Chains A and B, each alone.
Chain A
């Protein structure tokens, strides 16, 4: 029984880490008024670039850097479209996902060939001495790879650094609520939105690297398989607040890992039902059945001075 619990917790956290990373960026982006639907594509691009970089250089560390660079580049192009040229955020987001899926699928034939990339250098778990022996929590939290620990640190730093008690956090919220007023107060609306999209690209790229380099040491077509969408949904389920979003990520991770643990627990749960559960939770959260919930008023509204 306890082995199953261990597995459930460890699996849950493992699945939650990429979500945590990506949604901490997406949260900022949405608070600043940019509904970034392309987290999935950013993550996929990061995973591909990470695996390709690690394969080419023989070093997982270089892979992380290439993943980061690819995520940033992807985000810069998207921000150019949606922030500077004011193209529709929903169109650019959905289309950018399709572009990333097509481009990485095409690219993996060229880079990894047919033999699929299952020999990419990756990260190995580093157990924290002592702490990893704590039952249930130990294997879940303290047996991560270096990248996994970095993910915790990045998510915590973003949650604290941009909380509503910091000047930066307030500026981001002001821009997402009413860009015109924020602009009149002297806040650099477009620069902040551009930066928020870039940040989302960077952390989503890292999340992709975590998938490809920490978990499987390989790249396969569509390796993200919807995790990026789940990161967007975690922000909604977390009602655009940092700590509830983190909790939502953990909950989504555990719900997914229940798919694999359920047979051992003797439960018959329909796997598609568990996959759908996070979206139902998010819908309940956003519909105001669980506490008050309000999206930033300026979400998806492009900003143009004088309009």
Chain B
């Protein structure tokens, strides 16, 4: 059904409910209440899905909680997922400050993983970790930044929208990983039988990320790296001249150019940093268990990270919070299927509904800000 056309003099659709509920409106529009409402709605849908699968809510809840916080293993792998998401979303936020929308996290993550695997496998078997790990991570950063650099160059030189180019570079990046792990001449492990999987050989010990939570927890140094990246990026964006320049370019490239700012360089830098952060996330994924580059190793992290970045709307505190939520939910969802027999697709449904509800509700808060 098409929406009723507004008469030219119609007031903004917001004013009617706000006039009726003058005191409740600011409360309803507050991000926290919006988030709570979205969680309740999505949770209700999830309850329906659990019942539809023939499981009792109590069993499902126990399995979900067990998968999220039940063991050092669960917490560790949830933290790893959250760190990967946070890195991508942190980069997204920096580029977004310069007015660029980086849709290409998935491709940059693939480029980073590819470079990390290539460098890691080229290292000698006995390489010390103090040398191997930084090399692998730097390779990931460089490759991710270069991958985003293609889009940045096309934008600054030819005016091609970075939304379109980074979107396309995602598919190309995923494809390149596939090509690399299918060809023995590239990164595929030596094929010894028809059952040899299309993936790379494992990285040498010294190229793998060190564990940080003891032997029972799979949490790796990527968690520390992601936390540092978020804090440093937050400080740089808020408190330094670079952050101010990026914001100025984001507000108005034309005005910034007239003030003498190197607009193209700042845009390129912002997008390349976003790519680099995603590349580090990719390198991290390759350098943690099972320490191989496999087809679809990115498993949609790039797209989820983008969603986290867009939902967080420029706040790095929100990036951390949403990444943790997504990371824990995803891992809980895997256990929901293993332990309670509820299809993992139901977690996917609940998570998507949650995002859609928040995205829909955001217009309320955006509107308040833009009209004030």
Residues of chain B from 309 to 323 with CB closer than 8 A to chain A in the complex: 310-311
Closest CB-CB distance, A87 to chain B, in whole Å? Answer: 4
A216 contacts B by Cβ under 8 Å: no
Closest CB-CB distance, B3 to chain A, in whole Å? Answer: 6
Question: Chain B residue with minimal CB distance to A80?
Answer: B360
A264 contacts B by Cβ under 8 Å: no
Q: Are A95 and B359 in contact (CB under 8 A)?
A: yes
Question: Chain B residue with minimal CB distance to A307?
Answer: B370
- Residues of B within 8 Å of A275, CB to CB, are 175, 178
Q: Are A287 and B356 in contact (CB under 8 A)?
A: no
Q: How far is the CA of A185 from the CA of B5 in the complex (A)?
A: 14
Residue from A83, A96, A276, A287 within 8 A of B154 (CB atoms) = A287
Q: Mark B280-321, 1 if CB is under 8 A from A, else 0.
A: 000000000000000000001001001100110000000000
- Residues of B within 8 Å of A280, CB to CB, are 172
Residues A87 and B165 in contact in the complex (CB < 8 Å), given A106-B343, A270-B183: no
Q: Are B348 and A98 in contact (CB under 8 A)?
A: yes
Q: Are A105 and B343 in contact (CB under 8 A)?
A: yes
Give the interface size class of chain B: 35 or more
A305 contacts B by Cβ under 8 Å: yes
Q: Are A101 and B345 in contact (CB under 8 A)?
A: yes
Closest CB-CB distance, A21 to chain B, in whole Å? Answer: 20
Residues of chain A from 220 to 271 with CB closer than 8 A to chain B in the complex: 229, 233, 236, 270-271
A102 contacts B by Cβ under 8 Å: yes
A5 contacts B by Cβ under 8 Å: no
Closest CB-CB distance, A47 to chain B, in whole Å? Answer: 16
Question: Chain A residue with minimal CB distance to B107?
Answer: A279
Q: Are B3 and A190 in contact (CB under 8 A)?
A: yes
B176 contacts A by Cβ under 8 Å: yes
Closest CB-CB distance, B162 to chain A, in whole Å? Answer: 11
Question: Chain B residue with minimal CB distance to A226?
Answer: B171
Q: How far is the CA of A127 from the CA of B351 in the complex (A)?
A: 46
B52 contacts A by Cβ under 8 Å: yes
Q: Are B348 and A101 in contact (CB under 8 A)?
A: yes
Q: How many residues of chain A have a CB within 8 Å of chain B?
A: 55
Closest CB-CB distance, A194 to chain B, in whole Å? Answer: 5
- Residues of B within 8 Å of A84, CB to CB, are 3
Residues A288 and B363 in contact in the complex (CB < 8 Å), given A101-B345, A305-B6: no
Q: Are A282 and B346 in contact (CB under 8 A)?
A: no
Q: Are B352 and A96 in contact (CB under 8 A)?
A: yes
Which stretch (A63-71, A172-180, A292-300) binds chain B? A292-300
Q: Mark B148-187, 1 if CB is under 8 A from A, else 0.
A: 0000001000111101110111011011101100110000
Residue from A81, A98, A236, A304 within 8 A of B164 (CB atoms) = A236
Of A188, A190, A279, most buried by chain B (CB within 10 Å of CB) is: A279
B362 contacts A by Cβ under 8 Å: yes
Residues A191 and B363 in contact in the complex (CB < 8 Å), given A91-B310, A92-B356, A307-B370: no
A90 contacts B by Cβ under 8 Å: yes
A134 contacts B by Cβ under 8 Å: no
Q: Are B168 and A283 in contact (CB under 8 A)?
A: yes
A136 contacts B by Cβ under 8 Å: no
Residues A272 and B355 in contact in the complex (CB < 8 Å), given A90-B306, A102-B348, A109-B343: no
Q: Are A191 and B2 in contact (CB under 8 A)?
A: yes
Residue from B172, B351, B355, B366 within 8 A of A283 (CB atoms) = B172
Question: Chain A residue with minimal CB distance to B174?
Answer: A276
Q: Are A286 and B343 in contact (CB under 8 A)?
A: no
- Residues of A within 8 Å of B130, CB to CB, are none
Q: Are B12 and A287 in contact (CB under 8 A)?
A: no
Q: Are A279 and B160 in contact (CB under 8 A)?
A: no
Residue from A76, A88, A188, A233 within 8 A of B1 (CB atoms) = A76
The 18 sampled A-B contact pairs (Cβ below 8 Å) are A81-B359, A81-B360, A90-B101, A96-B352, A101-B348, A102-B346, A106-B52, A190-B3, A236-B168, A270-B183, A273-B179, A275-B175, A276-B172, A276-B179, A283-B165, A286-B168, A287-B158, A293-B160
Residues of A within 8 A of B (CB): 35, 37, 76, 81, 83-88, 90-92, 94-96, 98-99, 101-103, 105-106, 109-110, 188, 190-191, 194-195, 229, 233, 236, 270-273, 275-276, 279-280, 282-283, 286-288, 293-295, 299-300, 304-307
Residues of B within 8 A of A (CB): 1-3, 5-6, 12, 49, 52, 101, 103, 154, 158-161, 163-165, 167-169, 171-172, 174-176, 178-179, 182-183, 300, 303, 306-307, 310-311, 343, 345-349, 351-353, 355-356, 359-360, 362-363, 366, 370
